[in-house]
A and B are shown apart, each in its own frame.
Chain A
Amino acid sequence: MDIIACIKRVPQTAEADVKIDSSGKDIVKDRLQFDMNESDTYALEEAILLKEKFSGSLTVISVGTFDAEDTLRIALAKGADNAIRIKAEDFGELDGYKTAQLLKAVIKDLKHDAIFTGCIATDDYYSQVGVTLAELLGMPHASLVTKIEIDGNTVHAYRELEGGLLEHLAMSLPALFTIQTGINEPRYASLIAIRRAAKKEIKVIGKEEINAEDIVSFSSLEKLFTPPVGERAEILSGTLDEIGTRVQGIVKEKGLL
């Protein structure tokens, strides 16, 4: 089985002190750690598990600048066979639609029975790339997948819906899956695989191979800003004790308890 996993290198912002930079269109990144996007680590693991079960090849692809090669190497160390970087620097500002077109331009010429992506990226939270890519390739797809089983030619994909409901889809391959966190337990890399990965060549594809004129954006970023405090929001300040007492007071005043 030939499998493709699409991964993205993102800054870890969940617990960081995030500031908007002087361009007003990006955040200050020089004090941020970068990692593989969280749901992509689960997508990659799902792809590795499938490859281990059915044998075949696993190719990882990332649209990113040079640093993304570190992330691709991590994927190689964990079990991917080949890695491709699409040079983000060649294609200007990217939205999910444009990223999906770039991926399509490369993937259409690769053998693929299954494609895995994360369900959402923790930098822009667009959640567009996987599903747009499936449409561009004309493939059946399932988003936000929490379990996959393969039975002959049929793939059973399970998706979490609101209210604790599970949706069960029976699909045929080739298909694309956007993977939810928690579906599996992403693995560590072994030192043997790390040494191997360190020496592997990463294929780099840029504007020489992909005609940039055909690739267009759907949206452009105007400005980044922190949400203004809404009229009904009240920001509490003070010591932990003071804030606690105030919250207790508010809960009582509003009759919430």
Chain B
Amino acid sequence: MRGIININPEIRDAILESGGDDAIKCYSCGRCMAACPWNLIDDLDYTTYRFCQRIKLGAIVDSEAKEDIAADTDEVFRCIGCDSCRHECPRGVNLSDVLRAVRRILVDYDSYPAELKGVISRLYSSGNPLGESSAKRADWAKDLGIPHFDGTQEFVYFPCCLPAYDARLKLVAEATASLLTKAGISFGIIGEEEFCCGEAVRRVGAEKVFQSAVNNNTRVFQKFNVKNVITTSPHCFKTFQTDYPAFSDIQIMHVVQVLHQCLADGKLKPERPFKKKVVYHDPCTLGRQMGIYDQPRELLQSIPELNLVEVPVFNREFSVCCGAGAMGLWRDWPQDQRLVKIRTEQIFATGADVLCVACPYCLQMFEENFKSMNVDIEVMDISEILFSSLGQ
């Protein structure tokens, strides 16, 4: 229990100035706390409804005692930006943006979780969170005969960093590119000159690093006069649309939108049966944040003999985050405080053979966790399932 607090208008103003002005709308109703997935974890109280009040009073991360500062800072960096709270908030408060404003100040003063430092530094120096060489960014496409985008193709396919480098996720990029080719979509890739979209780095408050990503991608997209982009990751999809001012006249599409259109136009015909029970996990960014719920389900339902099931209650806008957002993929939370475990239990209870995702972060998070929890469910990206159902 904290004692009587001192109001600090200077802290309040600094947070509002760095983008936290949504805090003003909050009236502490507490609906966000009920919606926040962290509170599904036993013995964890993430008192989200207090953040905005404390910000308005300038009474956040304001103690001078080391332990209190550490506890407060951990709270500020716990939010993974799933937007469950925003969906429930009667005042439409964007809590993750409010917390991002606090983070921006702390990050500038080297006061953020140590495990994020390496990722941010890798992203800044090599253009991807894995620290891989940009010269290898197009290697996944080497044997697929995909052209470098030169303006003669209609679309740029932007695979996201994980599918460009990670051995497992490369299969997703390959399946997607193969589907697009089969559907007769004209596309190329940018490869070496691409930079991470920077969505996650922005969420943790490393704004300067994010701006360097924006500058790099803007320069490259303008150089090639890109007009249409297809992304595999909902995170690139959203960030390019909302956080890249120079992209306002570029059409950004998530791959499920493109594939759904191809299905409607008869350019893709899933013929081969997929005789499995499949549960679809709505990624926070594609679902709650971008409102795409039906297209992935309709794509799956178009596949013969695929038995699509839902996680009861916690589906669509009530989907529970896998925990990978806002660099959660790289966080070291204790084993008993991991959102992915909660979601895994919900998915396991459906009795599904396959978990279908439409986000590279979700795929990596679930696959790693299924292994460590010995859960015998296969994790597949929607493009992989669809590709396996195409006739010859």
Contact = CB atoms under 8 A, between A and B. Distances in A.
Interface of A: 12, 14-17, 31-33, 35-36, 41, 73-74, 77, 187-195, 197, 239-240
Given A188-B61, A188-B73, 14 more contacts: A12-B125, A15-B131, A16-B122, A16-B124, A16-B131, A41-B110, A187-B70, A189-B69, A191-B8, A191-B106, A192-B8, A194-B106, A195-B11, A240-B167
Interface stretch (B113-121, B182-190, B219-227): B113-121
B62 A36 contact: no
B69 to A, nearest CB: 5
Contact of A192 (B62, B122, B167): B62
Contacts of B109: 73-74, 77, 189, 194, 197
A189 to B, nearest CB: 5
A134 to B, nearest CB: 27
A192 B209 contact: no
A73 B126 CA distance: 28
A164 to B, nearest CB: 26
A81 to B, nearest CB: 13
Nearest to B167: A240
Contact of A190 (B10, B69, B121, B131): B69
Given A188-B106, A195-B11, A16 B167 contact: no
Contact of B70 (A32, A73, A188, A192): A188
Interface of B: 8, 10-11, 14-15, 58, 60-64, 66, 69-70, 72-73, 102, 105-106, 109-112, 117-118, 120-122, 124-126, 131, 133, 167, 209, 212
A111 to B, nearest CB: 24
A105 B376 CA distance: 67
| B-side interface mostly | helix
A187 B120 contact: no
A17 B124 CA distance: 10
Nearest to A29: B125
For A41, A190, A197, which residue has the most chain B Cβ atoms within 10 angstroms? Answer: A190
Nearest to B114: A186
Contact of B66 (A16, A41, A187, A239): A187
Contact of B111 (A12, A15, A32, A189): A189
Contacts of A77: 109, 111
Contacts of A73: 109
A190 B124 contact: no
Nearest to A12: B121
**A-B pairs with lowest CB-CB distance, top 6:** A16-B125, A188-B111, A12-B121, A33-B121, A188-B73, A189-B111
B61 A15 contact: no
A194 B13 CA distance: 13
A195 B14 contact: yes
Contacts of A190: 61-64, 69, 72
Contacts of B121: 12, 14-16, 32-33
Given A17-B133, A192-B62, A187 B69 contact: yes
A33 B11 contact: no
Contact of A191 (B14, B209, B212): B14
B61 A191 contact: yes
Nearest to A195: B10
A15 B11 contact: no
Contacts of B15: 191
A77 B117 CA distance: 19
Given A33-B121, A195-B11, A17 B131 contact: yes
A33 B105 contact: no
Contacts of B69: 187-190
Nearest to A196: B10
A31 B215 CA distance: 13
Contacts of A12: 117, 121, 125
B355 to A, nearest CB: 25
A208 to B, nearest CB: 30
A83 B124 CA distance: 29
A38 to B, nearest CB: 10
Contacts of B14: 191, 195
A76 to B, nearest CB: 9
A12 B124 CA distance: 10
